[in-house]
């Protein structure tokens, strides 16, 4: 089993790469954004709870997010591991995720940051905004704010995982195939080779 956390600023290609990696290694991709949308749309107990905070303009407490992730992990007992995307975002969330996985006799094996130059990412996001219609992908100031928030919140996380010797950086510039190859090289170093019977 292999459990990964994918980091990267908006536009770094986390979702795209997670799709390739989940196929290649039979992993379940857990994107917190998708999990939130699913729970709210389907009116689950946790979705309704999250919505009460969102409607007030408050942040959803970590415990609610962790409970949603626990459900996702439990729903997929046949996965060979998980890719966490969009979580954790703070040191407290990283600790909470470690605790959740420990209960299941699991752990995070590696956290991988997709590194890319801000100018390249701004260009990517503006292009994406033309297609997706997302307003936060169409305004350079909003994009820069999201980058700032990422830098502020993620820096302590990098330290947290570096201390555990689980943090890796991968160049996020290049073709999708090249980036997938770089990610695979990191994963192969932490994944025990399959024994041939």
Sequence length of the chain is 197
Distance, in Å, from the CA atom of 53 to the CA atom of 47, rounded to the nearest integer, reads: 10
Angle between helices 14-25 and 176-190 (to 10 degrees): 50
Catalytic residues: 14, 89, 128, 134, 146
**What is the residue-wise DSSP string for 123-190?**
HHHHHHHHHH--GGGS-HHHHHHHHHHHHHHHHHHHHHHHHTT-EEEEE--S-HHHHHHHHHHHHHHH
Q: 97 exposed, middle or buried (CB, 10 Å; 0-12, 13-18, 19+)?
A: buried
Contact 120, 179 (CB under 8 A): no
């Amino acid at each position: 089993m292999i459990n990964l956390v994918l980091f990267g600023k908006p536009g770094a290609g986390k979702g795209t790469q997670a799709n390739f990696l989940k196929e290649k290694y039979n992993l379940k991709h857990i994107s917190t954004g998708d999990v939130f949308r699913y729970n709210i749309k389907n009116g689950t107990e946790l979705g309704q709870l999250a919505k009460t905070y969102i409607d007030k303009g408050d942040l959803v407490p970590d415990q609610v997010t962790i409970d949603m992730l626990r459900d996702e992990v439990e729903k997929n007992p046949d996965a060979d591991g998980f890719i966490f995307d969009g979580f954790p975002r703070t040191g407290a969330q990283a600790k909470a995720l470690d605790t959740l996985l420990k209960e299941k006799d699991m752990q995070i094996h590696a956290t991988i940051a997709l590194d890319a130059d801000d100018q390249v990412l701004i260009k990517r996001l503006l292009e994406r905004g033309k297609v997706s219609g997302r307003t936060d992908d169409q305004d350079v100031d909003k994009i820069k704010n999201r980058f700032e928030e990422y830098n502020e919140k993620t820096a302590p996380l990098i330290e947290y995982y570096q201390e555990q010797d689980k943090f890796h950086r991968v160049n996020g510039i290049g073709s999708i195939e090249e980036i997938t190859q770089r990610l695979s090289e990191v994963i192969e170093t932490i994944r025990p080779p399959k024994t041939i019977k």
